[in-house]
Amino acid sequence: MRTDGMLKEGSLKGQTIIVTGGGTGLGRSMGKYFLELGANLVITSRKLEVLEKAAKELEEETGGKVLPLQCDVRDYEQVEAVIKQTEEHFGNITNLLNNAAGNFVSPTERLSARAFETIIDIVLKGTTNFTLALGKHWIAKKQAGTVLNIVTTYAWTGSGYVVPSACAKAGVLAMTRSLAVEWAKYKIRLNAIAPGPFPTEGAWSRLLPGDLVKKFDPAKLVPVGRVGEHQELANLAAYLMSDFSSYVNGEVVTIDGGEWLMGAGEFSHLEKIPQEMWDMLEASRGKKQ
Ligand code: HXC
Ligand code: NAP
């Protein structure tokens, strides 16, 4: 395993990247690497205090420039304001990382209509708001742009107990693939990343609340036997944001150590069979021949 930065110095120089939900967790880690590669960074979310603290730390850690802007992705006017303020501060925007999300685990029948709607609004409407607003802007200015959307592997498998998130992420994936075709003529490229488990305070506190974290070790569900390192995701995200990936369009790249395929494979559960039992099975097969 390598957890150092992968791209060469200056790979994102001259780029201005907006990261929604960029003050915490994976958004912060990806943003940090974009800065290290020379990009200007805008981080947005609802909590300005969190953003301002993160911006200060990121600038100190990387020597780059970070603009923290409060914005609830559910509100189209706030999204348009971010675009305006970013251009005033940094000039042209080149990239958007739709990373902001909300999630929790619950039997679906226990959810209120508002709970369901809250997740759909943050994840799906938030992503379409930002993509539509910036896409229209780029098209009007005849400017190229690249969008990267963070989904999950259950965007295509579905998953119980996170149904609003699954519905919303599936919608984000559909949008990614649809617009990758429709907007290619405007030199706008869209891709997605589907991460498996990468520890963050935000995800762990909501998806493994209380004692669940002791009962369900996410690493046990991953064939390679571990969770992801943030830099591994940041390397992939930086590549997809850079011009090195300009022929990659409409793709969703999974980075999960094989997790979802292990769940999907008909006989993957045979992993639980000990070597001695395989020895016995082999021996008994030998006798019959
Ligand atoms: C059931 C819940 C709930 C829960 C809130 N609600 N939490 N229902 N179980 N745990 C209900 C509330 O009762 C309310 O409905 C409605 O949802 C809205 O709740 P609010 O607290 O008013 O919403 P809001 O302040 O907008 O906060 C949004 C949030 C919160 C999603 C509830 O958790 C949040 O801010 N999350 C942001 C960060 C986050 O979730 N990060 C994790 C991403 S991880 P009623 O009817 O009572 O009004 C991720 C990983 C995916 O996506 C894949 C992993 C492998
Ligand atoms: P996180 O730290 O909780 O990140 C979520 C971010 O979204 C927070 O910064 C939050 O900031 C922001 N946000 C929430 N609601 C918002 C809203 N209405 N408007 C604007 N911003 C909002 O969790 P994370 O684990 O890093 O998740 C990042 C992304 O990775 C998400 O898309 C998630 O689905 C995806 N993902 C994570 C994992 C994992 O294992 N961690 C796996 C698969 C996919 P505020 O609270 O300040 O608004």
**Residue range 141-189, pLDDT digits in tens:** 999 999 999 999 999 999 999 999 999 999 999 999 999 999 999 999 9
Residue 74 domain-assigned?
yes
Residue 7 lies in a domain: no
Q: Which residues line ligand 1 (CB under 6 A)?
A: 101-104, 106, 111-112, 114-115, 118, 152, 165, 197, 202-203, 206-207
Q: Give me the phi and psi of 44, to 5 degrees please.
A: -130, 150
pLDDT in tens, 181-222: 999 999 999 999 999 999 999 999 999 999 898 899 999 999
- Quick one: pLDDT at residue 287? 67
Would 53 be classed as within a structural domain? Answer: yes
Which tens digit of pLDDT belongs to each residue from 90-139?
Answer: 999 999 999 999 999 999 999 999 999 999 999 999 999 999 999 999 99
**Element holding 129 (H helix, E strand):** helix 126-140
> Which CATH number does the domain housing residue 103 bear?
3.40.50.720
Any idea which ligand is nearest the CA of 151? 2
Nearest to 130 by CA among 52, 44, 194: 44
Query: Is there a domain that residue 267 lies in?
Result: yes
Q: Contact at 8 Å (CB) between 124 and 176?
A: no
Ligand nearest to the CA of 72: 2
Q: Are 83 and 133 in contact (CB under 8 A)?
A: yes
* Residue-wise pLDDT tens digits, 259-284: 999 989 999 889 899 999 999 999 99
Which domain covers residue 257, as residue numbers?
16-284
Residue 10, domain member (yes or no): no
Residues 78 and 130: their CA atoms lie apart, in Å, by: 10
In the beta sheet, which residues pair with residue 44?
Answer: 20, 69
Which amino acid would we find at residue 149?
N
Choosing from 33, 76, 154, 239, the catalytic residue is 154
State residue 84's pLDDT score: 98
For residues 174 and 179, what is the distance between their CA atoms, to the nearest angstrom? 9
What atom of ligand 2 comes closest to residue 206's alpha carbon?
Answer: 3
Residues 6+ positions from 13 with CB-CB distance below 8 Å: 37, 38, 39
- In three-state secondary structure terms, 215 is helix
Question: Does residue 288 surpass a pLDDT of 80?
Answer: no
pLDDT of residue 286: 76
> pLDDT (tens digit, 9 = 90+) per residue, 60-94?
999 999 999 999 999 999 999 999 999 999 999 99
Q: Give the distance (Å) from ligand 2 centre to CA of residue 142.
A: 31
For the chain, the average pLDDT equals: 97
- Nearest CA among 147, 105, 102 for reference residue 123: 102
Structurally, how many domains does the chain consist of? 1
pLDDT at 207: 95
Q: How far is the C-alpha of 276 from the C-alpha of 269, rounded, in Å?
A: 16
Q: Is the pLDDT of residue 47 over 90?
A: yes
Catalytic site includes residue 154: yes
Tell me, yes or no, whether 289 lies in a domain.
no
Pocket test for ligand 1, best of 46, 73, 118, 207 (most atoms within 8 A of CB): 118
Nearest to 7 by CA among 28, 34, 27: 34
Reported confidence tier of residue 289, pLDDT bands at 50, 70, 90 = low
Decide if 136 is inside a domain.
Answer: yes
pLDDT tens for each residue of 237-266 = 999 999 999 999 999 999 999 999 998 999
Q: How far apart, in whole angstroms, are the C-alpha atoms of residue 138 and residue 59?
A: 27
State the DSSP code for 164.
Answer: H
For residue 5, being part of any structural domain is answered with: no
